[in-house]
Chains A and B, each alone.
Chain A
Amino acid sequence: MTALTKSDMADMLFEELGLNKREAKEIVEMFFEEIRASLESNEQVKLSGFGNFELRDKGERPGRNPKTGEEIPISPRRVVTFKPGQKLKARVEKYAGTE
């Protein structure tokens, strides 16, 4: 099955809500940009019914170059994690899987 993309989302806003194509495209773009900007400023994003985008700071840890086997430390970093909400989890659990 093909994946849902920004352009599919904009098409749906055009068809369902009657936004013009330019507005629909802009809104979809802004939706993802606002979430990125919030996370960039270290603020988590909570979208009730869908899920939360949270931030975790990870300290330095030992790593390895998989090609050469050479040991190199992995620098401290901040990462995004997604915690699906109850409603989304319940809906996805019902999916029996057909692949």
Chain B
Amino acid sequence: MTKSELIEAIAAKQTQLSLKDVELAVKSVLEQMSDALSSGERIEIRGFGSFSLHYREPRLGRNPKTGDSVDLNGKYVPHFKPGKELRERVNKGLSLS
């Protein structure tokens, strides 16, 4: 499922809002999530999961083309931990397929 399919699926399930409104809403939600993470804020959605940042230590990397070593700074990367309901539903999908 892509973002536009997600927008269509939501629009099909409710009658008050136009496709355009749903599109703006979905984009706003994703933007809010990106904004939160890029300012170091966690996201907590019960039954879905939580997003947080994990720190990666600085390390010595290599340029794969030249073999030169490069200093890589420490950095934060986004991390997702699925919540209980999501874990259970996805795992139930396994036994059905």
Contact = CB atoms under 8 A, between A and B. Distances in A.
Real complex partners, A and B? yes
Interface of A: 1-6, 8-9, 12-13, 16-17, 19, 23-24, 26-28, 30-32, 34-36, 38-51, 53, 55, 57, 76-82, 84, 87-89, 91-95, 97-99
Interface residues of B, number: 56
Interface of B: 1-3, 6, 9-10, 13-14, 16-17, 21-22, 24-26, 28-30, 32-34, 36-51, 53, 55, 75-80, 82, 85-87, 89-94, 97
B29 A9 contact: yes
A17 B75 contact: no
B4 to A, nearest CB: 9
Contacts of A98: 40
A8 B32 contact: yes
Given A4-B41, A40-B92, A51-B78, 4 more contacts: A9-B28, A40-B93, A76-B94, A95-B37
Contacts of A9: 28-29, 32
Q: Is the interface of A mostly helix, strand, loop or mixed?
A: mixed
A76 B85 CA distance: 18
Contacts of A19: 17, 21, 25
B78 A3 contact: no
Contact of B78 (A23, A49, A82): A82
Contacts of B44: 3-5
